[in-house]
Amino acid sequence: MKLILILGVTLLVVLICQIYMSLKDKEGFSSAVLEAGERSFLNKQNDYWGLRSIGIGAGLLRTDPEVNKWFKLDNDKKLQTYTPEITGSQTEMDKKITQCRVLTSCDQLQEGDQGDCGYCAYDKEFRYGGKDGPAPDVCPKKAWTNNKEKCKELREKAICSKIKSCGDLYGEAADICGFCPTTGTGMVKKEVGGKLVPKYSDDVCGGDGYGLLSAEKCGQFLKDHPCITPYYLSGPHSAECVRKLWKNSGCTDATPYGKTPLQLGEAIRMSYKEAGEIMNNTNTKTRDNVYNTAVQNSDICFGNHDNIDPCDPKFSREGVPHPECLKKEFLESGCDTNGKGFKKIEQGVSGSKQHVGDISKYSQNQAAWNIPGFTYPFSNSTNSNDYKKTINRVNKLIGEAADYGTRADASMICLGTTPPPPPPITTGCTVTKLLFPLNYEGVVTKINGESCFIMWTSFTNIGGSSVVQWGQTVNSKEKVERSSKSREQQAEGWGWPGINPTGQTTLKTTYSKGQLSIKEACGDLKSGCKRTCNEAVADVLYKFPPPRDCVVGEWGAWSSCTKSCGGGSQNSTRPILYPAKFGGRPCPATTKYKACAQKPCLNPNFYE
């Protein structure tokens, strides 16, 4: 009983071991393992049949008694040894195998799929076997055919499948294959309408309709079209592609969007056409009507915005040029950033309009800027050319304006500071008085408190048209000198210090200091060619001496009466101290009379 039990256990163990070994040796069915196994078997079979095709004993360097010992299965499927005949006779299968192995072209296969020979695209060998596969060899089902046309297809596809770049198109591959730039692979080609397309319908080379590339055109095409790659629809793209798109857009900066072409290409995740359109839009926006948009895109596109003119009218808003234009002209005129005008421009369009209004008074050249009652122009709109003229005029008025108020206003607008006030008016200073359109100039000859006595020496017509003054036509900007007038004309139109003109004029010879503008100060010390104050006064008094009236002395005592009675007279005289000169008032009477001895004369011989 125990013996039977031991025998049963032993058999069970043996059975389990056999099952284990069977499972261990079972062939895997993953595609990778299957492919490796088939490949190994094909190589062994190739060596085996290649040796047998030569004959018994082929490949041996020496003979051996055991060399002809062969093995085969008998009818019971048991392996038996046998010695083949030296005559070299073959079985029918051997003959067919040999016939199929010597084939070299698909054209040698039979028409249709009934032939005994076929082609294995996996190892590129012709073998014995029908449509179901080679016998006794192994070939992947999709790689096997015994159809002549399918053989050609498999063979051509196998050749073209190795094409990975234009450089692979040589030899037989160049004749059969074309390169598809959008897939980066080779495909069997055919020509349709002068264009290379995939020969077989299951090969697809889409994308922009370029088709397949021949060996002759492939390299140049990829050079000319660096964006046509397998990633042309999604990115990333090559540096060459980015450079071409950037160049085609018209942009020139070496670092598009702040990246190198390589970095940008690796970052792009869209089709090259979308990327190119974005670059084109960047260039288009360099000409945008919005100044900041044009500047930003120009900096991206060209690396600077030198192409942008801020004074271009298209950037104007609300009737004024763009603030950057005003800044440019403001600084180029000689003004600086401390000026009130610049600070207002920095506030944007609203501040710019205020600034334009502030300087509009100076938008036209005027004879003077402090004419009482005169209406100066005002506008808070302008263009770049007019603004340039106006701000240049403002800068010049800092030093050239005749009145201090204008100089101070221009200086604050332009520089943000006021010039030093003019020196005080003293005797000997040259002053001006505007009686529009005539601007008079003269020398202060005497000051009494706040009152200045002036010798007027000339006047200028600062108006825009001629005027008639004392019968003389005075053209615009013409200067008339007092020295050209006679004493009578001077008396009528000019007067002398303290002596107003006798003609119909509003000019006076005495004004308060606040009513005058100083043109030139004098000094108490002689310096070079500059006159002292006393010399200035003496000079005008010498040139235009005021009229001097006659000056007489005091009346003398009365003379004796010319009669003692009957009405006599007495006289008194006074001396002429200074006779009248230069048209002064003549001397008054220097002798006066009075009656005396008014009692009647009587004969002394008669008595009442």
Closest CA to 90 of 126, 128, 47: 128
pLDDT of residue 352: 96
Q: What is the DSSP letter of 468?
A: E
Alpha-carbon distance of 337 to 345, in angstroms, equals 10
pLDDT of residue 607: 57
Q: What is the DSSP letter of 52?
A: H
Taking the CA atoms of 223, 229, 233 and 235 in sequence, report the sign of the dihedral they define: negative
Alpha-carbon distance of 356 to 330, in angstroms, equals 11
Alpha-carbon distance of 539 to 306, in angstroms, equals 61
pLDDT of residue 17: 63
* CB distance 187 to 205 below 8 Å: yes
**C-alpha atoms less than 13 angstroms from C-alpha of 414 in its C-beta half-sphere:** 26
Percentages (nearest 5) of helix, strand, coil residues in the chain: 35, 20, 45
Alpha-carbon distance of 560 to 570, in angstroms, equals 6
Show the DSSP H helices in 53-147 as ranges: 92-101
One-letter identity of residue 497: P
Tell me how crowded residue 578 is: count the other CB atoms within 10 A of its CB: 13
Alpha-carbon distance of 261 to 101, in angstroms, equals 55
Alpha-carbon distance of 337 to 294, in angstroms, equals 25
Distance separating the N- and C-terminal Cα atoms of the chain:
232
3-state secondary structure at position 13:
helix
Q: What is the DSSP letter of 543?
A: H
3-state secondary structure at position 264:
helix
pLDDT of residue 399: 86
Averaged over successive runs of 10 residues, the pLDDT of the chain (608 residues) comes to: 64 67 46 52 52 46 54 71 58 78 82 80 82 74 84 86 85 87 87 88 80 85 86 91 95 96 95 94 96 96 96 95 96 95 96 95 84 85 95 92 89 93 90 90 94 95 86 90 92 92 91 89 69 90 86 87 87 83 78 87 68
Partnered with residue 551 across adjacent β-strands are 578
Alpha-carbon distance of 247 to 280, in angstroms, equals 10
Interior CA angle at 117 toward 116 and 119, to 5°?
A: 145
Cα distances (angstroms) measured from residue 500 to each of 57, 70, 354, 444, 505: 154, 157, 46, 14, 9
Q: What is the 3-state secondary structure (H, E, C) of 139-166?
A: CCHHHEECCHHHHHHHHHHHHHCCCCCH
Domain boundaries 551-596, corresponding CATH code: 2.20.100.10
318-322, long-range: CB within 8 Å, 24+ apart, which pairs? 318/349, 318/353, 318/381, 319/353, 319/380, 319/381, 319/382, 320/349, 320/352, 320/353, 320/356, 320/380, 320/381, 320/382, 321/352, 321/382, 321/383, 321/384, 321/387, 322/291
The whole model's pTM is what?
Answer: 0.57
Alpha-carbon distance of 252 to 430, in angstroms, equals 64
Residue 122, H or E segment: none
pLDDT of residue 150: 85
pLDDT of residue 61: 42
pLDDT of residue 45: 53
Instruction: Pull the structure tokens for residue 349.
Output: 């369009």
Where, residue-wise, is CATH 2.20.100.10 in the chain? 551-596
One-letter identity of residue 464: G
CA quadruple 173, 178, 180, 185: dihedral, nearest 10: -10
Interior CA angle at 47 toward 42 and 49, to 5°?
A: 90
Instruction: Pull the structure tokens for residue 585.
Output: 């008032």
Closest CA to 138 of 257, 53, 35: 35
**C-alpha atoms less than 13 angstroms from C-alpha of 383 in its C-beta half-sphere:** 4
One-letter identity of residue 37: G
pLDDT of residue 51: 46
